[in-house]
Structure 1
Amino acid sequence: MAGPVAFFAVFFAWPVVAIVARGLKADGVWRLGRVVDVISQSGIRHVLWFTTWQALVSTALTLLVALPGAYVFARLDFPGKQVLRAVVTVPFVLPTVVVGTAFLALVGRGGLLDDLWGVRLDTTVWAILLAHVFFNYAVVVRTVGGLWAQLDPRQEEAARMLGASPLRAWRTVTLPALAPAVAAAALMVFLFTFTSFGVVQILGGPAFSTLEVEIYRQTSELFDLSTAAVLTLVQFVAVGAVLAVHAWTVRRRESTLRLVDASVTARRPRGAGQRAVLAGVLATVAVLLLLPLAVLVGRSLEAPDFGYYRALTRTDGGTFLVAPIWAIGNSLEYAVAATAVAVVIGALAAAALARGDAGRIVRGFDALLMLPLGVSAVTVGFGFLVALDKPPLDLRQSWILVPLAQALVGVPFVVRTMLPVLRAVDGRLREAAAVLGASPWRVWREVDLPMVRRALLIAAGFAFAVSLGEFGATVFIARPDQPTLPVAVARLLGRPGDLNYGQAMALSTILMVVCAVALLVLERLRTDRTGEF
């Protein structure tokens, strides 16, 4: 636990405390009364209420829509499955400003639905909820589906032979085994929607505002750091309460699971029921995920002769010090470095949690790892600039600052993906290897690693994807001559003119392609030639 604790203390707790202290401290005196003043404002209470209920509804809708997809990818085998799995994950890595813009082009004024049927959903909560489902669909599919694919199907088949209906067998056998993964996925979706920024800002208009949007408005538009600091504390307390309830209510049932080779659990669809579920999932993916992406690609191709793409190679637009196309290489370099950091820190943390005795310290450490998903990225970005400006950690001019900020968001995904599988490893296997003379390192290499290799690769893919699309903190610390893809897209969207908008759509399309290729390679590497993980 020492490595992950030190990492979070230096690169998360210290920056957040530094920026909050700057907002609530004046002339060496803490202005704690400011907390009551801010919370008592009716507008702030309205923001708190909207932030909470839209996150709950978004989480419920995402689970309802995505759980059938998790079943299809875990249990059914069909042509194009690996390609579709990569495509499903693409929306999750898109910057939230791009997600909001894609849905605006779909459901907003002059969008596809407006042109066809005169239907507009922009400036309504429905557009926000749909965009949140679009964004978080892959979280449920890959987190729940990763464990579901390794559950022994013979347990459910035994229940069916004893007379249970398919629904009862799933409810009494499979669902309890999936409960930890479902809870972990729901927690991540809730945290992402609770701190939603770009989607709400673009689709909600002035009528809707989450805590994250309000923190950004108070910081960048009103320059009121004290109010922003109070809202950051409120967000921190709310997220901490959610994590505490999660740790208290979720029982550790992974040890009762029986895991098998995932390559033998997926079968061709049999019967009308499985074919209907597969058709429904494919239709959902086509309408909810592929259609907004298609609109995005179409907008990038509106200029003749790929004009928007060719403009990415020029520096005469005045938006960047370098050609926007350089953002692709920058993002890939940062993402690889951030993935390496996130996998190392996350794997150490998951191993510590899996072998812990579930005491208060271990449970508190588990909750600590999830905090970066629920704390304002705007606060973390500003905190990096404020806290990491003096030796021995004067990193403001160092390239490593961006991967460190991105890794903070990637570590929770690594932990939540690997932890259920690590806890499901039968401890007697380790004991048997130790009795036969294997060292602790060899026990890990020969027993644990073969069983968690698939989860480790999925965790690495998630960390890479999150790093590619991270925007909130990166926008404050990325150097002008080394922009990332999300930062470049946001800057182009913030400038008027069709050329800037078209270049933003072109860069977003490139980001989608890069992510899809990376995830497709990951899917190909998940299994070796023998089909074993």
Structure 2
Amino acid sequence: MALPVAFFAVFFAWPVAAIVARGLKVDGVWRFGRMVDVVTEPDLRHVLWFTTWQALASTALTLLAALPAAYAFARLEFPGKQVLRAVVTVPFVLPTVVVGTAFLALLGRGGLLDELWGVRLDTTVWAILPAHVFFNYAIVVRTVGGLWAQLDPHQEEAARMLGASAARAWRKVTLPALAPAVAAAALMVFLFTFTSFGVVQILGGPTFSTVEVEIYRQTSEVFDLSTAAVLTLVQFLAVGVILAVHAWTVRRRETALRLVDASVTARRPRGAAQWALLAGVLATVAVLLVLPLAVLVSRSLDAPGFGYYRALAREDGGMFLVAPIHAITNSLQYAVAATAVALAVGGLAAAALARRDAGRVLRGFDALLMLPLGVSAVTVGFGFLIALDEPPLDLRQSWILVPLAQALVGVPFVVRTMLPVLRAVDGRLREAAAVLGASPWRVWREVDLPMVRRALLVAAGFAFAVSLGEFGATVFIARPGNPTLPVAVARLLGRPGDLNYGQAMALSTILMVVCAVALLVLERLRIDRTGEF
């Protein structure tokens, strides 16, 4: 735990504490009374209520829409499955501003629904909720489906042989085994929607505002760091309580699971029910995920002769010091470095937390690892600039600052993906290997690693995807000469003119293609030629 603790202390706790202190400390005196004033203000209480309500609704809708797909990917074998898995994951890595813009093109003025039926949903919550489901669909599919694919189906079949109905066998056998993964997925969805920024800002208009949007507004528009610091603390405390309760619940539900080779659990659909479920999943993916992506591609091709794509190679000498197309190389380099950091930190933390003899303090760190997902990315970005500006950690001019910020968001995904599988490994296997003379390192290499290899690859894919799409903190620390794809898209969207908008759509399309190819390669690599993980 030494490396994970040091990493989070230096690159998370210190920057967040620095920005909060800057907002609540005036002339060397702490103004804690400001917290009461902010929390009791009617407008801000409405922000807190709406933030919580929409996050709960978004989480419930995401689970409802994505759990059938998790089953289909885990238990059914059908042509194009690996390509479809990559397609499902692509929306998650898109910058939130692009997701909001895509749904605005579908649901806003002049959008698809407006053209066909005269229906507009922008500036309403009914545009925000489907956009959140679009963005977080892959979390449930990858997290729950990854574990579901490794559950032994014979346990449920045994319950059916003993007289249980299909529904009761699933509720009594499969659901308890999936509970840790479902809880982890629901938590991640809740945190991402609780801290939603770009989607709410674009689709909600002036009517709706989450805590994250309000922190940005207070920081960048009103320049009220005191109010922004209070909102950051409220968000931080709320997320901390939720994570502590979640960690306690997950530990009580987790049991030793019987994991099998995932390649033998998936079969071709049998019966009308499975074919109907697969058809429903494909229809949901087509309408909810593919249609918004198709809108982005269509908008990027509006200029004749791929004009928007050709314009990416030109330097305008204003917003960027380099041509926007260089953002692609920058993003890939940053994402690879961030993935390596996230796997090192998250893998060590998951291995330590999975130990049966882990103490209460160590288990409590499980919840703390999730805090970067619930703390304002705006706060983290500003905190990096304020805290990491003096020797020996003056990193403001270093390229490593961006991967470090991206890795903060990737580590929780690594931990949450690997921890349920590590805890499910039978401890007697490790003990037997140790009795036979294996060193602790060899026990890990020969016993744990083969069982968690798939989870490790899935974690790497998540960390890479999150790094590519991270925007909130990166927008403050990416230098003009080395912008990332999300930062470049946001800056182009912020400038008037059809050319800038078209270039933003073109960069977004390139980001989608890069992520789809990377995820498809990951799906190919995680299965060897014998079909085994």
Question: If the TM-score is normalised by the length of the shorter chain, which range does it land in?
Answer: over 0.9
Structure 2 equivalent of residue 237 of structure 1 = 237
Structure 1 equivalent of residue 417 of structure 2 = 417
Larger displacement relative to structure 2 (245-254 or 448-457): 245-254
Give the Å deviation of 1:249: 2.6
Give the Å deviation of 1:164: 1.2
Structure 2 equivalent of residue 289 of structure 1 = 289
Q: Report the 3-state secondary structure (helix = DSSP H, G, I; strand = E; otherwise coil) of the residue aligned with 1:516.
A: helix
**Any residues of structure 2 matched to 1:33-112 within 5 Å, and which?**
33-112=33-112
Contact 1:356-1:362 at 8 Å conserved across structures: no
For 2:254 and 2:378, locate their aligned partners in 1 and report how far apart those are by CA, in whole Å.
36
Which letter maps to 2:167? L
1:126 aligns to 2:126 (yes or no): yes
Contact 2:122-2:203 at 8 Å conserved across structures: yes
Structure 2 equivalent of residue 516 of structure 1 = 516
For 2:297 and 2:532, locate their aligned partners in 1 and report how far apart those are by CA, in whole Å.
37
Contact 2:35-2:230 at 8 Å conserved across structures: yes
Structure 2 equivalent of residue 256 of structure 1 = 256
Structure 1 equivalent of residue 501 of structure 2 = 501
Structure 1 equivalent of residue 444 of structure 2 = 444
For 2:394 and 2:163, locate their aligned partners in 1 and report how far apart those are by CA, in whole Å.
67
Cα deviation digits, residues 51-76 of structure 1 (max 9, x gap): 00100010011001100000000000
Which letter maps to 2:528? D
Contact 1:254-1:421 at 8 Å conserved across structures: no
**Any residues of structure 2 matched to 1:427-466 within 5 Å, and which?**
427-466=427-466
Which letter maps to 1:354? A
Structure 2 equivalent of residue 300 of structure 1 = 300
For 2:386 and 2:194, locate their aligned partners in 1 and report how far apart those are by CA, in whole Å.
25
Which letter maps to 2:294? A
For 1:402 and 1:356, locate their aligned partners in 2 and report how far apart those are by CA, in whole Å.
35
For 1:40 and 1:254, locate their aligned partners in 2 and report how far apart those are by CA, in whole Å.
40
Structure 2 equivalent of residue 138 of structure 1 = 138
For 1:233 and 1:356, locate their aligned partners in 2 and report how far apart those are by CA, in whole Å.
33
Give the Å deviation of 1:124: 0.5
Give the Å deviation of 1:434: 0.8
Which letter maps to 1:524? R
Contact 2:177-2:255 at 8 Å conserved across structures: no
Give the Å deviation of 1:255: 3.3
Which letter maps to 2:420? P
Q: Report the 3-state secondary structure (helix = DSSP H, G, I; strand = E; otherwise coil) of the residue aligned with 1:255.
A: coil
**Any residues of structure 2 matched to 1:354-433 within 5 Å, and which?**
354-357=354-357, 359-433=359-433
Cα deviation digits, residues 414-446 of structure 1 (max 9, x gap): 000000000000111111111111111111101
Cα deviation digits, residues 301-330 of structure 1 (max 9, x gap): 000000000000001263211000000000
Which letter maps to 2:283? A
TM-score (norm 2): 0.99
1:196 aligns to 2:202 (yes or no): no
Contact 1:195-1:375 at 8 Å conserved across structures: yes
Structure 2 equivalent of residue 114 of structure 1 = 114
For 2:251 and 2:444, locate their aligned partners in 1 and report how far apart those are by CA, in whole Å.
25
For 1:254 and 1:427, locate their aligned partners in 2 and report how far apart those are by CA, in whole Å.
14
For 1:137 and 1:459, locate their aligned partners in 2 and report how far apart those are by CA, in whole Å.
16
For 2:197 and 2:482, locate their aligned partners in 1 and report how far apart those are by CA, in whole Å.
23
Structure 2 equivalent of residue 211 of structure 1 = 211
Q: Report the 3-state secondary structure (helix = DSSP H, G, I; strand = E; otherwise coil) of the residue aligned with 1:79.
A: coil
Which letter maps to 1:22? R
Give the Å deviation of 1:356: 4.6
Indicate the RMSD between aligned Cα atoms, in angstroms. 0.8
For 1:427 and 1:325, locate their aligned partners in 2 and report how far apart those are by CA, in whole Å.
50
Q: Report the 3-state secondary structure (helix = DSSP H, G, I; strand = E; otherwise coil) of the residue aligned with 1:256.
A: coil
For 1:279 and 1:136, locate their aligned partners in 2 and report how far apart those are by CA, in whole Å.
21
Structure 2 equivalent of residue 182 of structure 1 = 182
Q: Unaligned stretches of 5+ in structure 1?
A: none
Q: Report the 3-state secondary structure (helix = DSSP H, G, I; strand = E; otherwise coil) of the residue aligned with 1:517.
A: helix
Give the Å deviation of 1:256: 2.6
Larger displacement relative to structure 2 (99-108 or 315-324): 315-324
For 2:356 and 2:26, locate their aligned partners in 1 and report how far apart those are by CA, in whole Å.
43
Q: Percent identity?
A: 89
Give the Å deviation of 1:253: 4.0
1:278 aligns to 2:278 (yes or no): yes
In the alignment of these two chains, the number of paired residues is 533
Cα deviation digits, residues 220-256 of structure 1 (max 9, x gap): 0000000000000000011011112212333444433
For 1:285 and 1:40, locate their aligned partners in 2 and report how far apart those are by CA, in whole Å.
42
TM-score (norm 1): 0.99
For 1:362 and 1:25, locate their aligned partners in 2 and report how far apart those are by CA, in whole Å.
32
Contact 2:406-2:467 at 8 Å conserved across structures: yes
Contact 2:319-2:491 at 8 Å conserved across structures: yes
Contact 2:312-2:324 at 8 Å conserved across structures: yes
Which letter maps to 1:162? L
Which letter maps to 2:295? V
For 1:136 and 1:427, locate their aligned partners in 2 and report how far apart those are by CA, in whole Å.
34
Contact 2:414-2:456 at 8 Å conserved across structures: yes
Contact 1:414-1:462 at 8 Å conserved across structures: yes
Q: Report the 3-state secondary structure (helix = DSSP H, G, I; strand = E; otherwise coil) of the residue aligned with 2:268.
A: coil
Q: Report the 3-state secondary structure (helix = DSSP H, G, I; strand = E; otherwise coil) of the residue aligned with 1:431.
A: helix
Contact 1:255-1:425 at 8 Å conserved across structures: no
Which letter maps to 2:307? G
Which letter maps to 1:365? F
Structure 2 equivalent of residue 309 of structure 1 = 309
For 1:129 and 1:389, locate their aligned partners in 2 and report how far apart those are by CA, in whole Å.
39
Structure 1 equivalent of residue 491 of structure 2 = 491
For 1:481 and 1:56, locate their aligned partners in 2 and report how far apart those are by CA, in whole Å.
40
Cα deviation digits, residues 258-282 of structure 1 (max 9, x gap): 0000011010000111101100000
Contact 2:218-2:224 at 8 Å conserved across structures: yes
Contact 1:255-1:426 at 8 Å conserved across structures: no
Q: Unaligned stretches of 5+ in structure 2?
A: none
